[in-house]
């Protein structure tokens, strides 16, 4: 039986997780896959109960499961804690312990939402791109790291940007494979004019292309220019591949082009094994109010069906159901505009399930 670890987490995480499971259960009824679930506490919720954002038991469950669904982690309640036990460490710990090095963040415009974007219609209409972010290296995990006291009483903070050839090669392959299922166009993002690590990045990505993927149209762009091009002419991008820190920043930017960060799912993969999360955070300001948008979570389940369980047929059914509900004019608060019908978290989940 396919096993899914449910890490609901903090803030709106638990609310949107419920809707995601509801949708997956409806799919299960239709396609008879037989999913089983196990709850696995993570983040601030886990810290409050067990004194750590990533309990051993959660890690064991995540390792055993075929796929992990993660709601969101973090919130003001835990912001003062030491770095080592902050909710975010739970998420980073899962990524690293499971070696989930390939983070896929699609930014796709749903036609009915084109006016929800802060950019002009003609700039964003039809956007369909995916950011492939390396997720287990770079400044996030590089050593040395930390803050030390100097003899003169001042302090010195250090993080290390580091990538090895194999790390770059494997993420480049993921990007090229995805590009083969799309328009064979990849743009690799670096800062090779200043940072040696990313000069190596550029060299290795180009090498993999030349040796193994000659059919791919590969270009390179500096990260500052990419940040600018994303708002100037985003439709020039199809697959974008980049390191952990640049990918963190650019994927937020790319997501916002589509109007709402509440719409976008993500997958963090190592082969078939994957962790699936909505890319929005825990949104503590609206937690518990029943108004959060569950669509990113529901679409994360679609990605799970596609990448872990090889059921792109079922994934398409979910995506079509979401599109239909939007077409009919139903909106959560974050994507609401006058003339549409405002609904809450549970109602949005029910509407999508009805279309399944
Ligand atoms: C993301 C988030 C995380 C990251 C945080 C919550 C640690 O911003 O998934 O993009 O920086 O990777
Ligand atoms: Mg981020």
* CB-based neighbours (< 5 A) of ligand 2, an ion: 248
The CA 280 to ligand 2 mean position distance, Å, reads 8
> Three-state DSSP class for 189?
strand
Q: Summarize pLDDT for 204-230 with one digit per residue, the tens.
A: 999 999 999 999 999 999 999 999 999
How far CA 71 is from CA of 16, 209, 245, 304, in Å, comes to 7, 35, 21, 14
Task: Look at residue 89 in the predicted model and tell me its pLDDT.
Answer: 95
Is 163 considered catalytic here? no
- Residues above pLDDT 70, as percent of the chain: 100
The CA 297 to ligand 1 mean position distance, Å, reads 16
How far CA 147 is from CA of 142, 157, 184, 245, in Å, comes to 14, 4, 43, 19
| Chain centre to alpha carbon of residue 18 | 18
Region 128-257: CATH code: 3.40.718.10
Could you say which ligand is closest to the alpha carbon of residue 267?
1
Q: What sign for the dihedral angle of Cα 266, 43, 14, 68?
A: positive
Range of weakest confidence among 12-16, 60-64, 256-260, 315-319: 256-260
Q: How far is Cα 344 from Cα 332, in angstroms, rounded to an integer? A: 6
Q: Where are the alpha helices (DSSP H) in 71-149?
A: 87-97, 121-124
Average pLDDT, the chain: 96
In the numeric block, the tokens 């976008």 are attached to: 264
| Best residue for ligand 1 mutational test, from 89, 91, 280 (most atoms within 8 Å of Cβ) | 91
Average the pLDDT over 76-96 and give the result: 95
Is 140 considered catalytic here? yes
Q: Summarize pLDDT for 112-159 with one digit per residue, the tens.
A: 999 888 899 999 999 999 999 999 999 999 999 999 999 999 999 999
Q: What share of the chain is helix, strand, coil (3-state, %, to 5)?
A: 50, 20, 30
Q: Which of 224, 310, 313, 327 is catalytic?
A: 224
Q: How far is Cα 54 from Cα 96, in angstroms, rounded to an integer? A: 12
Backbone angles phi, psi at 75, to 5 degrees: 160, 165
Q: 1-113+258-356 with 128-257: one CATH topology? A: yes
Confidence (pTM): 0.95
Is 350 considered catalytic here? no
Residue spans of the domains in the chain: they are: 1-113+258-356, 128-257
Q: How far is Cα 134 from Cα 115, in angstroms, rounded to an integer? A: 31
The full length of the chain comes to 356
| Best residue for ligand 1 mutational test, from 248, 266, 267 (most atoms within 8 Å of Cβ) | 248
Structure tokens at 8: 């609901």
How far CA 338 is from CA of 115, 329, 342, 349, in Å, comes to 11, 10, 9, 21
The CATH number of domain 1-113+258-356, selected from 3.10.110.10, 1.10.357.10, 3.40.718.10, 2.70.150.10: 3.40.718.10
Q: How far is Cα 127 from Cα 130, in angstroms, rounded to an integer? A: 10
**Is any ligand 1 atom within 6 A of the Cβ of residue 91?**
yes
């Amino acid at each position: 039986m396919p096993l899914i670890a449910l890490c609901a987490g903090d803030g709106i995480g638990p609310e949107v997780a419920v809707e995601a499971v509801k949708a997956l259960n409806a799919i299960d009824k239709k396609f008879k896959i037989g999913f089983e679930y196990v709850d696995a506490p993570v983040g601030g919720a886990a810290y409050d109960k067990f004194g750590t954002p990533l309990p051993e038991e959660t890690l064991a469950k995540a390792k055993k499961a075929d796929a992990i669904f993660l709601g969101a982690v973090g919130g003001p309640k835990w912001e003062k804690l030491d770095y080592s036990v902050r909710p975010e460490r739970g998420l980073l710990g899962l990524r690293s312990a499971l070696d989930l090095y390939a983070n896929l963040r699609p930014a796709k415009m749903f036609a009915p939402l084109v006016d929800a974007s802060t950019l002009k219609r003609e700039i964003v209409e039809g956007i369909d791109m995916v950011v492939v972010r390396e997720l287990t290296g770079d400044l996030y995990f590089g050593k040395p790291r930390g803050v030390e006291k100097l003899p003169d009483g001042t302090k010195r903070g250090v993080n290390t940007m580091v990538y090895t050839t194999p790390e770059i090669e494997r993420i480049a392959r993921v990007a090229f494979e995805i590009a083969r299922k799309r328009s064979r166009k990849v743009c690799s993002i670096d800062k090779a004019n200043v940072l040696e690590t990313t000069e190596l990045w550029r060299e290795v990505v180009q090498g993999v292309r030349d040796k193994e993927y000659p059919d791919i149209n590969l270009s390179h762009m500096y990260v500052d220019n990419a940040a600018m091009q994303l708002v100037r002419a985003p439709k020039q991008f199809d697959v974008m591949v980049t390191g952990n820190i640049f990918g963190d920043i650019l994927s937020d930017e790319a997501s916002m082009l589509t109007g709402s960060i509440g719409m976008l799912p993500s997958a963090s993969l190592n082969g078939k094994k994957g962790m699936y999360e909505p890319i929005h955070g825990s949104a503590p300001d609206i937690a518990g109010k029943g108004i959060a948008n569950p669509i990113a979570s529901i679409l994360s389940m679609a990605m799970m069906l596609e990448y872990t369980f090889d059921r792109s047929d079922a994934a398409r059914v979910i995506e079509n159901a979401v599109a239909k509900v939007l077409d009919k004019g139903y909106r959560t608060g974050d994507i609401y505009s006058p003339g549409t019908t405002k609904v809450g978290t549970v109602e949005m989940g029910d509407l999508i399930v009805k279309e399944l």
